[in-house]
């Protein structure tokens, strides 16, 4: 992807001053670490992050102010376009941190704004989510000084959109909302200083399955610890600063080798770069492992795994983890595992030899394949119906992995089948507003991260 042209003259002077500011910030943070009192370390080795003052921040009041005047700045797409124009005009050095094509990034920021708005009356949830987000953003080289530049651009964009009808009260409500999330991100990044911001990894195997699916095996250059069910964001050198999330399949091997399943979803993106532009010996970069689909330490009991297409990678890792627990401790608490595996058609089901062998050898496992076209939702509907028919009320978990539309379809079918929301896990991203006419729309709150694989800093 083309990189922005290098700027000179007055711009280079500004860039030098800007990077001097960043260097001063890093020095101050190092001094703060050195002077930190004993015992301020977290168990994992990082500095304990102070929580944003959620107990004194009246997020619900800001939520009411913003929603009451939402039409002044909506649609978010236009607000965000203006925001980035201001940001890159005032701080051109920041442009290189972003992908050349901004559409995905702008959609990501819109989701983040909606997430903040929907959760302002629950600031503790914002703190938890944005702390994780800040840890993940370390791979992008983001510093607090860059968040300050973003805040300046947001203020200018709000004034441009609201015009004379805007007010200082509305502007400050927006800035407090974003500042609350950013504070959590900064603290999350500081708390993760004991780990690399990203991991370089070498591709050891690149196997094509059909024309649009590749199974990659990669070996990180440093120790990369993850739990079964987690995902990582991946960057290809063919698309700098552009990251996309992929689940990690199977257990880490003795040599630390990881397995990724990548379906090419269109031209010009990370998936195409990994499927058609990558070969053994190439290098990629991995973000920190994340995700909600881990099993935890409690007994598994009855487990229903629901996947579509490459969502199978998640379930392959979880099945390997269940198998490991059963072998190490037969009384661990695994009763039955039922895998519902969906695909466009029978030919799109892959890795079937491995799965068939596992089902034959493990009496606790049964597999239900479901096929149908996803384009019209028929395949997702069939998958949801199959899960609902089998979902008799039980204390077991239901774990979902696949496209957002598939996850929503299955989620809609589970309550009528008697499945409690607390027993369902997924990594579905919030995709947009649940607000209607200035008030929150009733419905299931969004769960999972704001973005599974953030492509750029803001």
Residues 384-439: tens digit of each pLDDT: 999 998 876 666 889 999 998 999 999 999 998 888 888 899 986 544 444 433 33
Domain 199-286 CATH assignment equals 2.40.30.10 = yes
Residue 198's contacts (CB-CB under 8 Å, 6 or more residues apart) are 138, 139, 235, 285, 286, 287, 288
Within this chain, domains 199-286 and 301-426 share the same CATH topology: no
- For strands 199-209 and 213-220, give the pairing: antiparallel
Q: Give residue 331's pLDDT.
A: 60
Phi, psi for 306 (deg, rounded to 5):
-125, 120
Strand partners, 169: none
Rounded distance between C-alpha atoms, residue 349 and residue 451, angstroms: 27
Q: Give residue-wise pLDDT tens across range 295-307.
A: 887 777 789 999 9
Distance between CA 9 and CA 15 in Å, rounded? 10
Q: At what angle do helices 168-191 and 123-137 cross, to 10 degrees?
A: 60
430-441 residue pLDDT tens: 444 444 333 333
Given a contact cutoff of 8 angstroms between Cβ atoms, the answer to whether 392 and 302 are in contact is no
Backbone φ and ψ for 250, nearest 5 degrees, come out as 75, 180
Element (H, E) at 189: helix 168-191
Q: 301-426: which CATH topology?
A: Rossmann fold (3.40.50)
The arithmetic mean of pLDDT across residues 37-42, rounded, is: 36
Say which CATH architecture domain 10-191 belongs to: Orthogonal Bundle (1.10)
3-state secondary structure of 436: strand
Give residue limits of the domains in the chain. Answer: 10-191, 199-286, 301-426
What H or E segment, with its residue span, contains residue 319?
helix 312-328
d(CA 191, CA 63): 28
């Amino acid at each position: 992807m083309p990189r922005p042209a290098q700027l000179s003259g007055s711009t280079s002077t500004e860039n030098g001053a800007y990077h001097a500011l960043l260097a001063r910030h890093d020095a101050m943070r190092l001094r703060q670490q050195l002077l930190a009192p004993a015992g301020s370390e977290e168990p994992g080795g990082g500095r304990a992050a102070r929580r944003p003052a959620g107990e004194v921040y009246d997020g619900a009041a800001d939520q009411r102010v913003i929603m009451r005047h939402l039409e002044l700045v909506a649609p978010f797409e236009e607000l965000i376009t203006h925001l980035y124009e201001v940001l890159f005009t005032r701080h051109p050095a920041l442009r290189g941190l972003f992908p050349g094509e901004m559409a995905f990034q702008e959609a990501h920021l819109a989701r983040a704004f909606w997430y903040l708005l929907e959760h302002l009356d629950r600031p503790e949830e914002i703190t938890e989510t944005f702390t994780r987000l800040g840890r993940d953003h370390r791979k992008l080289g983001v510093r607090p000084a860059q968040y300050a530049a973003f805040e300046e651009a947001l203020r200018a964009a709000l004034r441009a959109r609201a015009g004379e009808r805007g007010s200082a009260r509305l502007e400050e409500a927006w800035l407090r909302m974003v500042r609350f999330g950013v504070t959590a991100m900064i603290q999350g990044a500081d708390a993760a200083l004991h780990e690399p911001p990203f991991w370089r990894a070498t591709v050891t195997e690149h196997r094509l399955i059909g024309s649009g699916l590749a199974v990659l095996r990669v070996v990180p250059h440093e120790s990369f610890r993850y739990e079964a069910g987690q995902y990582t964001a991946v960057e290809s050198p063919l698309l700098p600063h552009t990251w996309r999330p992929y689940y990690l399949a199977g257990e880490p091997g003795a040599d630390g080798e990881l397995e990724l399943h990548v379906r090419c979803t269109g031209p010009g993106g990370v998936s195409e770069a990994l499927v058609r532009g990558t070969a053994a010996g190439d290098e990629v970069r991995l973000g920190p492992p994340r995700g909600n689909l881990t099993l935890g330490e409690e007994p598994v009991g009855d487990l229903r795994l629901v996947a579509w297409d490459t969502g199978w990678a998640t379930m392959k890792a979880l099945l390997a983890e269940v198998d490991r627990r059963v072998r190490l401790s037969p009384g661990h608490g695994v009763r039955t595992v039922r895998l519902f595996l969906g695909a466009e058609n029978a030919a799109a089901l892959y890795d079937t030899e491995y799965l068939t062998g596992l089902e034959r050898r493990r009496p606790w496992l049964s597999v239900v394949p479901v096929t149908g076209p996803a384009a019209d939702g028929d395949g997702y509907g069939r998958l949801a119906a199959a899960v609902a028919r089998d979902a008799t009320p039980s204390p077991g978990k239901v774990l979902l992995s696949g496209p957002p539309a598939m996850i929503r379809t299955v989620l809609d079918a589970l309550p009528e089948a008697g499945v409690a929301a607390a027993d369902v896990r997924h990594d579905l991203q919030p995709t947009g507003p649940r607000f209607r006419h200035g008030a929150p729309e009733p419905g299931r709150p969004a769960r999972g991260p704001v973005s599974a694989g953030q492509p750029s800093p803001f």
